Amino acid sequence: MGMVIHDDFWAAAQAMPEKQRAPFIYAIVEYRFTGKEPQGSPAWLPTFLVLKGRLDMGDEKSERARKAANARWGNRPGKEDAVDDAAARAQADAQAHAGAYADTDAVAHAQADADAHAGASSCGNAEVEVEVEYIDNPLIPFDEIVHALNEAAGTRYRSSSAKTRRLIHARWAEGYRLPDFLAVIDTMAAEWAGDPKMAKYLRPSTLFSPKFEDYVNRGPRTRKEADGYAEYD
């Protein structure tokens, strides 16, 4: 049985006082392999409890992947290794996707609680199709952002799209907030909506891409058509 250490696990440890990091990381690993939870009330316990749910979810996905593989391939001779490999890949993919939508704000809030607590204390061969359950950050207004784009561009993009949410989440993680998204939508809609060549780029994959910073720092109608549009593909 393997284990995936996500970026936010490590980020949470880095945010702690140095003397808390080793026991925190050890507690995560110990829980993953033995199911044993930390004793007492260490300062980092709130953060551990947040991440514990992530580990439990990964185990559930792994079990579903194993069952799906067995259902598809059964116990036919020569297929056991393929089933195991497929289940392992499915678990890794599920955990990686879950990490993409991890509620980093929840981890930050838990760490803040931990700091407060500390202050008080001191004072391959087979394919498996797996349903991935994404953890959405409840603080990100996906619906409002996509609705604003649809209103401005006359489109019908879905706020439930995993691809769209991934793009919005990435920009949110960079520090951008709702006013930035609305400004980009308004600016680029004003510039591109009347141009048949450019109107098709009023879409999440363009506006919420890594070029988002360029759009944020751009005034309305400053871009010349001569700049071309191929770069937005």
Burial class (CB in 10 A: 0-12, 13-18, 19+), 189: buried
121 Cα distance to chain centroid: 33
In single-letter form, the type of residue at position 224 comes to K
pLDDT tens-digit series, residues 150-184:
999 999 999 999 999 999 999 998 999 999 999 99
* pLDDT confidence of residue 144: 95
Q: Taking the model in full, what pTM does it have?
A: 0.41
Structure tokens at 38: 């930390």
* pLDDT confidence of residue 210: 93
pLDDT tens-digit series, residues 98-147:
444 444 445 555 555 455 445 444 444 333 333 333 445 778 999 999 99
Query: Looking at per-residue confidence, does 114 or 24 come out higher?
Result: 24
Confidence class for position 221, pLDDT limits 50, 70, 90: low
The residue extents of the domains of the chain are: 7-122, 142-232
- The mean pLDDT value for 40-53 works out to 84
Is the per-residue pLDDT at 199 higher than 80? yes
